Amino acid sequence: MSEEAKGYGEFRRGWPIVVAAMLGIGLGLSPVPLYTTGALAPHLAQAFGWGFGQIMAGLTVMTLTVLLAAPVVGMLADRFGVRPVALISVVLFGLSFMGFALSNGSLPLYYATWAVMAVAGAGTLPITWTRAVNNWFETRKGLALGVALLGTGLFGFLVKPLTAWLVAEFGWRGAYVAIGALPLILALPVGWFFFRDKDGGAGETVAERRARQAAQSAATPGLTFGQTLREWRFWVLGVAFLLVSFAVGGSIPNMEKILGQAGFGADDIVWLASLIGLSVIIGRILGGWLIDRFWAPAVAFIFLAIPALAYWHLASGGTDTTVTALSIFVIGFAAGLEYDLMAFLVARYFGMKGYGGIYGALYGFFALGAGFGPVVFGAGFDKSGSYAGPLHVSAGLLLASAVLLLLLGRYRKFDQA
């Protein structure tokens, strides 16, 4: 059978998994707080007198919590299956996000809500969803992961104008409640009916699941989590994703303020910031298609090096709409490749035996950068009134991460046990 025919057969059987994963990831912990905080921060600042650095510090609290929760969730998914972990977490995440509507001006309460949300929503991270997608696809693994992770781009594209409308109609508290309800209304029912891992159904008993998992673990090629921690490639990937997430994650929630400082009006800011989500969508599909056909680190080098130039432009300021739109677009390309690239590289360099724990640990590196990036950007602005410094640093970090990925070498092959 040809590679094209195999790829078609994979999508014919596995498309429900991809769709469920797309909604679960897109309406989960990974994109929702990141894309909404920038839009809601001015209203929190106005209501409680908080600085932007204080508001963005919530992302750091979430990050530190995720550092502990992500590996645990990955191992729980390895042990109990991705379906129960993901679906329970969808419910808890939606409810905990609504908790921000109860904010009363207390920063400790605000930060505690971030921590609770991080624990409750850790199972909605790509750790769980991408494991099932990886198991269902081989020939078109990269494209399937790219489509599954489209949810982050779709949400990022739609949430800016949606949040603005919700705040105008229902206030910022109503916006938190409405956005928190989206996972319960959309992701939960689709996941309930369509999401499952390739090996094992929703109705198996505990004994059946344990027997299946023991046999599956023995037959699954790849490295265990402990073996991977002794691999130099793991640490190269960890540092690379830390740098990428700091640079990309730091700019996205601050993009409205970056554009405002450059002199753009409110209407231009809304549509320019929304371009990030649109470019993430394109980056997911194009990046997934490319890494199926070419060496993934080389593809990543291009996707990460070009946005470095975009940061230099944004740091210089100015209201050239075309150049600024193009700059934001290529930054979204970098954001569009990061999650599916991580899932793809874990499968190619470490195999699937310890996938949940490995991905969870690498996601910890990613979350560390994504959590501290926004608060460093926000604090830099509070101190100097400019984003030029963080933007210049981010440009250098993107170039460094692109070079690091080139050190990984050829994909590894693991013998079937």
Mean pLDDT of 162-180: 93
Q: What percent of the chain has pLDDT over 90?
A: 29
Distance from C-alpha of 67 to C-alpha of 370, rounded to nearest angstrom: 11
Q: Read off the pLDDT of residues 142-154 as tens digits, 9 standing for 90 and up.
A: 778 878 877 777 7
Q: Report H helices in 187-320.
A: 188-194, 206-219, 225-229, 232-251, 255-262, 266-293, 296-316
CATH (residue range 12-408): 1.20.1250.20
Q: Read off the pLDDT of residues 120-144 as tens digits, 9 standing for 90 and up.
A: 999 998 888 888 888 888 777 777 8
Distance from C-alpha of 371 to C-alpha of 56, rounded to nearest angstrom: 9
Q: How confident is the model at residue 417 (pLDDT cuts 50, 70, 90)?
A: very low
pLDDT value at residue 211 = 58
Q: How confident is the model at residue 178 (pLDDT cuts 50, 70, 90)?
A: very high
pLDDT value at residue 57 = 86
Q: Read off the pLDDT of residues 295-304 as tens digits, 9 standing for 90 and up.
A: 999 998 988 8
Q: How confident is the model at residue 274 (pLDDT cuts 50, 70, 90)?
A: confident
CA nearest neighbour of 149 among 165, 128, 164: 128
Q: Report H helices in 99-149.
A: 107-121, 126-136, 141-148
Mean pLDDT of 28-37: 86
Residues found in the chain: 417
Tokens found for residue 205? 């008993």
Query: Angle at which helices 296-316 and 232-251 pack, to 10 degrees?
Result: 30
Q: Read off the pLDDT of residues 307-343 as tens digits, 9 standing for 90 and up.
A: 888 888 888 877 788 888 888 888 887 876 776 788 8
Q: How confident is the model at residue 190 (pLDDT cuts 50, 70, 90)?
A: very high
β-bridge partners, 101: none
- Residue 225 CB contacts under 8 Å (≥ 6 apart), including other chains: 75, 354, 357, 358, 361
pLDDT value at residue 21 = 92
Tokens found for residue 335? 């954001």
Looking at the whole model, is its pTM more than 0.75? no
CB 299 within 8 A of CB 345: no
- Residue 116 CB contacts under 8 Å (≥ 6 apart), including other chains: 96, 99
Break the chain into its structural domains and give their ranges. Answer: 12-408
Q: Read off the pLDDT of residues 394-413 as tens digits, 9 standing for 90 and up.
A: 999 999 999 999 999 988 88
